[in-house]
């Protein structure tokens, strides 16, 4: 592509947004036929929109499930074998892990169905049908309503519609807004409740590169885990039972052994979580130039402390593995997001579009449209200091584990202060708190939390004005002379929340009048002070501002669609099933550098470093590499491909999503995006935004050759072109 063409595309996408190019967009599957099928087929797709989404016969959608609350998964066998990312199954693998049976480190493989491990509370949700219900949801709603009146009317309509449906159905129903509340769709789902762990590679494979490589390309991570759906003997979803049987799906994916070539058509089918593609420049500025830098600083400090202690003690490493991953994931994403917007001059591009919008709005004669951008500017200006301080409450204050945990006892205090006292309710709450106490201390290390408290308080005090500081800072100032270490020592010495045995004894012998002891506990006081501050300074104001933004954004979205009637708009992600499509493609992150679209096992061996945890290679994988024992999973060039990059528009929630070829066959599992393109949640740039996936052949290789669990492949459908 020449420079002139590149500039033209950028102008079209970012400034006027009159058209879209292949790569951008998260499309509603039920609308593919009318909006996308022609373009997808011109790009190389060989199947139809009906093959992807159908309510009349089995289709690709019948093999895709929302995994837990935040990932996607896909069915890859006749016996309900469920494939997702290693990081999506990470917390479940961790829960099954002990020092003696460290499945995170060593991996886990059930060699028969009897060895598969149950996961109480884990669900997988299958979309049965999607219906537009805009008219029903907005019945009785008019533009003269206040925001609260509008929300109440919509909430009542949604409750009525879903209740009426569920009363006559075995399925669940949920209604979500699209296009900022200009349209509404109902998702009808079947929820499976018996999901068992089947297999997971060791972290040296499933998390190879760790936090060092997170959000990066080239990537060499075998990011997958295997689960299985079980149902009752009648084929219905059921809670775990030894009598349950494997689920036999309407559809499961064929798995292609052909590999992925440059420019091959690819599409991702999954549950993207959240994007904000249509916001004004003021919002982008608040996120990328003000909010992100401050949150990055706070998370960076926490990660530094985690690493300091985890590197010294294997038990601590296990305890904080999942916490470290959660903190690190978004930390690095924010860095890339802010950098990407800066690199593509995203704020200026938004401002240029807004200048066009202002002219159009005036010419349209619509005074409401003409006042939108000045009102956006006012709201975001007033919101900014409150938003920053609120972020410090969450990212600094509630990052202190003992405070967040102490905060969970607020209900017990409220029940104990009630008149009359409900003894049954108190006993029920104590039972819950005992369970959560055990879970909390299982993965808690006091020295880490104490050091986090010291540094978080120091940064809070330094960067936030007195107006937005919890009252315990007065104590730190007056009594401890800003000695955060001395204050932290006081909290951890005097608090009941720092030792499991002490807290369990308190709960075992609890009497309602003991709530007064909690009110005097320094950790509980800190949480209470932050709650009081939030309610008095942030809560209502932020609700008011965000309600105003939601209202403005709804109208702004409607106006943009009127301004560009020929444009194909896609709705922002909202954890509903979507299709994104593009091409397998490398990219150039900077001058004189080009990344090809795939990586190989050679890259793993090049990175190998036994002294760096992220780059340790297991003996078994080294053996297979040295012998070039790749079996049927080698590429035609003789190498074993590990991952590939493509221009599919993805975000969080797409983790675990199937990546499919032109025939709708499984070629990979999506697990990340390139760091340079993480601004795609706000603005998409086809030249640099890339989703990252594990090559499905590497998954098969690990299951078969590495783990010796090749019996699992017998229930899959593997296909290869002649």
Active site residues: 87, 223, 655
Contact call for residues 431 and 289 (beta carbons, < 8 A): no
- What CA–CA distance (Å, rounded) separates 663 from 647? 18
Q: Is 360 helix (H, G, I), strand (E, B) or coil?
A: helix
> What tokens were used for 210?
């760790």
Contact call for residues 27 and 570 (beta carbons, < 8 A): yes
- What CA–CA distance (Å, rounded) separates 280 from 287? 11
Nearest 5°: phi and psi at 197?
A: -75, 125
> What tokens were used for 427?
């006993």
Q: Is 68 exposed, middle or buried (0-12, 13-18, 19+ CB in 10 A)?
A: buried
Q: Give the angle subtended at the CA of 132 by the CAs of 126 and 134, to the nearest 5°.
A: 135
- Residue 56 makes CB contacts below 8 A (sequence gap 6+) with none
With CA atoms as reference, report the closest residue to 55 among 312, 251, 272, 307. 251
Contact call for residues 130 and 211 (beta carbons, < 8 A): no
Contact call for residues 264 and 584 (beta carbons, < 8 A): yes
Question: Dihedral (C-alpha) 480, 484, 489, 495: value to the nearest 10 degrees?
Answer: 90
- What CA–CA distance (Å, rounded) separates 644 from 413? 53
Q: Computed over its alpha carbons, how large is the radius of gyration of the chain?
A: 27
Contact call for residues 200 and 223 (beta carbons, < 8 A): no
Q: Is 425 exposed, middle or buried (0-12, 13-18, 19+ CB in 10 A)?
A: middle
* Cross-strand bridge partners of residue 620: none
Contact call for residues 436 and 471 (beta carbons, < 8 A): no
> What tokens were used for 189?
């789902």
Q: Give the angle subtended at the CA of 437 by the CAs of 434 and 438, to the nearest 5°.
A: 90
Contact call for residues 305 and 451 (beta carbons, < 8 A): yes
3-state SS track over 394-406? HHHHCCCHHHHHH
Exposed e or buried b per residue across 256-275, where buried means at least 16 C-beta atoms within 10 angstroms of its C-beta: bbbbbeeebbbbbbbbbbeb
- What CA–CA distance (Å, rounded) separates 84 from 457? 38
- What CA–CA distance (Å, rounded) separates 515 from 537? 26
């Amino acid at each position: 592509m020449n420079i002139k063409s590149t500039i033209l595309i950028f102008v079209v996408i970012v400034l006027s947004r009159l058209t879209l190019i292949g790569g951008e967009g998260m499309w509603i599957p039920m609308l593919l036929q009318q909006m996308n099928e022609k373009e997808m087929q011109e790009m190389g797709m060989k199947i139809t929109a009906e093959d992807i989404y159908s309510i009349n016969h089995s289709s690709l959608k019948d093999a895709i499930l929302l995994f837990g609350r935040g990932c996607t998964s896909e069915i890859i066998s006749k016996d309900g074998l469920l494939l997702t990312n290693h990081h999506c199954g990470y917390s479940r693998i961790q829960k099954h892990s002990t020092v003696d049976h460290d499945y995170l480190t060593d991996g886990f493989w059930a060699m028969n169905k009897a060895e598969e491990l149950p996961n109480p509370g884990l669900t997988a949700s299958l979309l049965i049908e999607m219906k537009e219900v805009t008219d029903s949801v907005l019945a009785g709603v008019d533009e003269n309503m206040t925001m609260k009146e509008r929300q109440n009317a919509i909430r009542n309509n949604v409750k009525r519609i879903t209740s009426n449906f569920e009363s006559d159905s075995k399925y669940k129903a949920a209604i979500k807004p699209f296009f900022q509340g200009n349209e509404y769709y109902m998702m009808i789902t079947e929820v499976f409740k018996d999901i068992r762990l089947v297999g997971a590679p060791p972290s040296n494979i499933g998390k190879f590169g760790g936090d060092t490589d997170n959000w990066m390309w080239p990537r060499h991570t075998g990011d997958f885990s295997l689960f299985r759906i079980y149902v009752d003997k009648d084929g219905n979803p059921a809670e775990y039972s030894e009598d349950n049987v494997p689920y036999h799906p309407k559809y499961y994916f064929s798995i292609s052994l052909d590999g992925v070539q440059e420019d091959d058509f690819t599409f991702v089918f999954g549950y993207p979580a959240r994007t904000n593609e249509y916001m004004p420049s003021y919002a982008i500025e608040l996120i990328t130039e003000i909010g992100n830098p401050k949150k990055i600083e706070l998370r960076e400090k926490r990660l530094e402390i985690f690493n300091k202690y985890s590197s010294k003690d294997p038990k601590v490493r296990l305890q904080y593995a999942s916490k470290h991953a959660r903190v690190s994931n978004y930390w690095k994403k924010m860095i890339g997001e802010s950098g990407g917007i800066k690199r593509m001059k995203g704020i200026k591009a938004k401002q240029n579009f807004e200048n066009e919008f202002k002219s159009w709005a005036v010419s349209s004669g619509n005074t409401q449209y003409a006042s939108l951008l000045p009102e956006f500017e006012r709201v975001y200006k007033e919101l900014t200091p409150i938003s920053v301080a609120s972020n410090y409450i969450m990212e600094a204050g509630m990052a202190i584990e003992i405070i967040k945990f102490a905060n969970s006892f607020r209900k017990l205090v409220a029940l104990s202060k009630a008149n009359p006292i409900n003894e049954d309710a108190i006993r029920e709450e104590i039972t819950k708190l005992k369970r959560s106490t055990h879970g909390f201390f299982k993965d808690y290390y006091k020295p880490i939390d104490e050091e986090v408290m010291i540094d978080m308080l120091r940064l809070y005090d330094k960067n936030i004005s007195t107006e937005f500081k919890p009252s315990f800072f007065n104590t730190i100032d007056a009594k401890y002379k800003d000695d955060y270490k001395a204050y932290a020592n006081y909290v951890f010495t005097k608090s009941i929340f720092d030792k499991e045995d002490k807290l369990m004894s308190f709960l075992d012998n609890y009497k309602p009048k003991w709530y007064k002891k909690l009110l005097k506990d320094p950790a509980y006081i800190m949480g209470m002070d932050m709650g009081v501050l939030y309610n008095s300074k942030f809560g209502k104001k932020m609700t008011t501002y965000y309600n105003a933004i939601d209202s403005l954004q709804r109208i702004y979205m409607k106006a943009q669609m009127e301004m560009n009637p020929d444009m194909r708009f896609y709705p922002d992600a909202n954890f509903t099933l979507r299709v994104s499509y593009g091409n397998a493609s490398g990219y150039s992150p900077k001058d004189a550098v080009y990344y090809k679209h795939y990586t190989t096992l050679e890259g793993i061996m090049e990175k190998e470093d036994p002294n760096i945890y992220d780059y340790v290679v297991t003996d078994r994988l080294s053996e297979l590499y040295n012998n070039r024992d790749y079996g049927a999973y080698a590429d035609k060039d003789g190498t074993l491909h590990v991952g590939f990059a493509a221009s599919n528009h993805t975000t969080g929630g797409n983790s675990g999503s199937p990546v499919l070829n032109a025939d709708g066959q499984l070629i990979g599992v999506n697990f990340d995006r390139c760091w340079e393109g993480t601004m795609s949640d706000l603005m998409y740039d086809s030249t640099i935004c890339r989703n990252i996936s594990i090559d499905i052949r590497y998954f098969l290789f690990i299951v078969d050759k590495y783990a010796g669990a090749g019996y699992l492949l017998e229930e899959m459908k593997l296909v290869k072109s002649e």
